[in-house]
Structure 1
């Protein structure tokens, strides 16, 4: 995304100057024209000098959902949009959201459409939201669209929390296991080194290996830190390249157990987004373009772009999906049936409900499966180090008997 500086006049001939964020020059012109501006000067700003710095200025997902729910309730109750925005601006505690709503309200007073006003603030109002609002304005059902958006983002938030909860448990246990093993090798095991040296017996090979590992970790710990940093840098370099990012995203989908869970989360987000957009009368090409941007996986994003080109040519949406392993037959069949019957939005809604339920079941199964496995791994790791201490004791005991 680049920034473009413009000079234009509104329908009353008033001069307007400012910046607009867009993918290219034509996209910038389209956005300004939707604001009913006649552009006579437009130039791209330096990408580095004019890069937007947020310094942590982000509205929390929960705050955004509360805002949507309250705005939907106010509009449904018949409160004018300008007054509703002003009320929410006064009561919100988030300073960034408060300042943004103040700017949106000013634009509304000047006669700018709500969709065009929120489009100026992409850090708070995503493209999906802007397009849904634009569709609601065109159909005269803004209150209904706002309610749907509140429900949509609530479901997305809940699903994200479930994914985080399911994946954080094994990561936490793995970190605890690693920390315990390092503590045993670096702090506890060296306490027995003097005792081993005083023993008039040859140490078992396994104990000698653990002793060598312990000494190496104490003397050359910085090499471990260096290897970790190199791994992080190497990973960042790989994912910064399109082919590397595509390769890593493909691996994420193919990892045993976790890959299936990750795939269900993406499919649930994709079907829910497309269903919401199509139900609000957003054109299917726009729905495909917006949906592909929220997938956060280059493998599936590439398929969605192929679907866009296929639909643009007048062919079936399901074609590219059927030819790719990342999309299960169930979803492609539902899409094909939806295209034939003209009920694609409702069938995508059913698919979204199905994958959201599957995600719930998968999260529970993942937790129940990993809990005993991780406890077993932790026991083996700790037990192997304790065994290295006990083995010489048996040798000493046998020598004393003789």
Structure 2
């Protein structure tokens, strides 16, 4: 959004200057005048590296956003006006990006603009689900309850994500340690014994020749190995950014023998929890499905939801495409079907979300217990192979002496 530098005087005669963002110069002038500022000058700032907001990924941490939702709901429930609550939270939040956005929203509220419309201009800070649910809360007059519901949803989402990350972090850390140990042994330890074995002479075992060859490659081309890992990481990241290729990546991940079921349960928990929150906030079902398609984080489930949305538009039931898709277990389909028939779809989705959130918790604990001994054995085999490749020829030398 363009930024403008301004100077002027307040009604009490004090001079004021600063910067403000807005879509157009005319909009900014009107905004400043409603704040009681007599403008002396205003000019648009050049878009440079120094005044541009730069962020990688989501600029607001999920835990900061949950805290903001809880505090916002509490302030509104206590009778604090929407504008005052926004101003208070703009100063209290520990997230700079969120604080800047709330400052600008407060300026918009002065002009009589709705909070949801002002928040829609900060899509990097406020998720699309937040904007639509707040809009529904404003229309129903129950904004504090909507914010409580949003806080619960994002809390559950954060807890599920942390559990999955914890389960996947252990093998990743052990794998990195294993690679570091292998590189250290091959580049520093093995060459020391290689010169000793070459001086003695004689025929070396095949395993020793293999390890010595690997040691030469690592010692001479270590930089190429690191570069290769970086290039592979960048390539995978680029592939995941495209929906066409992300679908196949997500499909492959869901089909993994051990991690696939965990990722599937986490995605289903997020999908059902989000849909439940949207339905209970009276967001239209087709609009809710479209939003969940964008935020579910799994292209396989996203495309299946689009099929369900198309089915609804053509007069069919929501669960018709789900019954034919492998990603939905019978429990999910049956619960959603019961919700459709009884008119309690939001409640049924909440129960499904609670079930799979528990399943993710059990699955992560089980996965940790399973992976730990496997990774220890893997590391022991790798290091043991290198050690044996050195010890075996040394025993042969001693036996010949």
TM-score by length of 2: 0.84
Residues 307 and 321, structure 2, Cα contact 8 Å, conserved in 1: yes
Given the superposition, is the C-alpha separation of residues 231 and 97 from structure 1 closer, same or farther in structure 2, using an over 3 Å criterion? closer
Report deviation, 1:220. Answer: 3.0
Q: Which residue in the other structure is 1:109 paired with? A: 110
**1:76-155, aligned counterparts within 5 Å?**
76-155=77-156
Q: 1:102 to 1:241 in 2, by over 3 A?
A: closer
- Structure 2 gaps, min length 5: 2-21, 25-47
**Counterparts of 2:199 and 2:23, CA distance in 1:** 80
Structure 1: gaps of 5 or more residues:
4-16, 20-48
Cross-structure match for 1:186: 187
Q: Does 1:206 align with 2:207?
A: yes
Aligned partners of 1:120 and 1:352: how far apart in 2? 31
- Mean CA deviation greater in 216-225 or 319-328: 216-225
1:304 aligned partner: 305
**CA separation in 1, counterparts of 2:345 and 2:129?**
18
Cα distance between partner residues in 1 of 2:304 and 2:146:
28
Paired with 1:360 and 1:324, the residues of 2 have a C-alpha distance of 25
Superposition pairs for residues 236-255 of structure 1, below 5 Å?
236=237, 238-239=239-240, 241-255=242-256
- Partner-residue secondary structure (3-state), 1:373: helix
Residue of structure 1 in register with 2:389 after alignment: 388
Computed over aligned residues only, the root mean square deviation of the Cα atoms, in angstroms, reads: 2.1
Q: Can you list the C-alpha shifts for 1:365-385, whole angstroms capped at 9, x where unaligned?
A: 111000000000000111010
Aligned to 1:56: 55
**Would the alpha carbon gap of residues 87 and 302 (structure 1) be closer, same or farther in structure 2, given more than 3 Å must change?**
same
Post-superposition CA distance 1:63-118 (Å, at most 9, x none): 21111111100111111111111222232343322221121112222111121121
Change (3 A) 1:223 1:88: closer
| 2:42 equivalent in structure 1 | none
Name the CA shift for 1:83/1:230 in 2 (closer, same or farther; >3 Å). Answer: closer
CA distances 1:266-291 after superposition (whole Å, capped 9, x unpaired): 00000000001111111111110111
Aligned to 1:18: 23
Q: Is the contact made by 1:201 and 1:395 (CA closer than 8 Å) also made in structure 2?
A: no
TM-score, L = length of structure 1:
0.83
Report the counterpart of residue 333 of structure 1 in structure 2. Answer: 334
Query: 1:321: Cα distance to partner?
Result: 1.3
Alpha-carbon distance in 2 for matches of 1:92, 1:118: 16
Q: Please report how far the alpha carbon of residue 356 of structure 1 lies from its aligned counterpart in structure 2 after TM superposition.
A: 0.3
Q: Find the aligned partners of 1:120 and 1:200 in 2 and give their Cα distance.
A: 74
Contact 2:336 2:349 in 1 (8 A): yes
2:281 matched to which residue of 1? 280
2: CA distance between counterparts of 1:245 and 1:365?
28
For 1:96 and 1:84, locate their aligned partners in 2 and report how far apart those are by CA, in whole Å.
Answer: 17
> How far did residue 228 of structure 1 move?
3.1
Deviations 1:217-242 (A, max 9, x none): 21233443454355345435544554
Structure-1 separation of matches of 2:298 and 2:169: 20
